[in-house]
Amino acid sequence: MAEEGQQHPLKIYYWIWVLLFVVSFFSYMVDYLNFQGAVRWTLILVFMFVKAGFIIAIFMHMKWERLALKLAILGPPAAILVLIWLMSYEGLYVEDTRLEYYGESTMVPQEVPHH
């Protein structure tokens, strides 16, 4: 006896496909309109996460999975992102305390002698 799987309507896939094109268009517009600094990188990251979310949810069928499986798959990357954020926060703290205690560096790189 063959097992029957759940069939999702193709309309959902077409809509997500169109939405991915729209979000990609906005992502390209960030470069075309020449945004700079934090705004540029914030928009790039937001559009990247939106596209990744659509792909994971629909094309990788995560939307239809049980909560336990969703947490098992998405939990470790979320924990890694938190740890990366903590490391960057600590790095800023270390840099600030070094500058506070030792001041600005006065070291000037010397030229390497040519033989």
CA distance 95 to 101: 10
| Residue pLDDT tens, the chain, 115 long | 555 666 778 899 999 999 999 999 999 999 999 999 999 999 999 999 999 999 988 988 888 888 888 888 889 989 999 999 999 989 888 888 888 888 776 777 788 877 7
CA distance 74 to 80: 10
Q: Residue 114: is it exposed, middle or buried by C-beta count within 10 angstroms (0-12/13-18/19+)? A: exposed
Q: How would you classify residue 2: left for phi > 0, otherwise alpha for psi between -120 and 50, otherwise beta?
A: beta
- Report how far apart the first and last C-alpha atoms of the chain are (Å, whole number): 81
> Using an 8 Å Cβ cutoff, are 20 and 55 in contact?
yes
> Using an 8 Å Cβ cutoff, are 51 and 20 in contact?
yes
Which tokens is 51 given? 């596209």
Identity of residue 61:
H
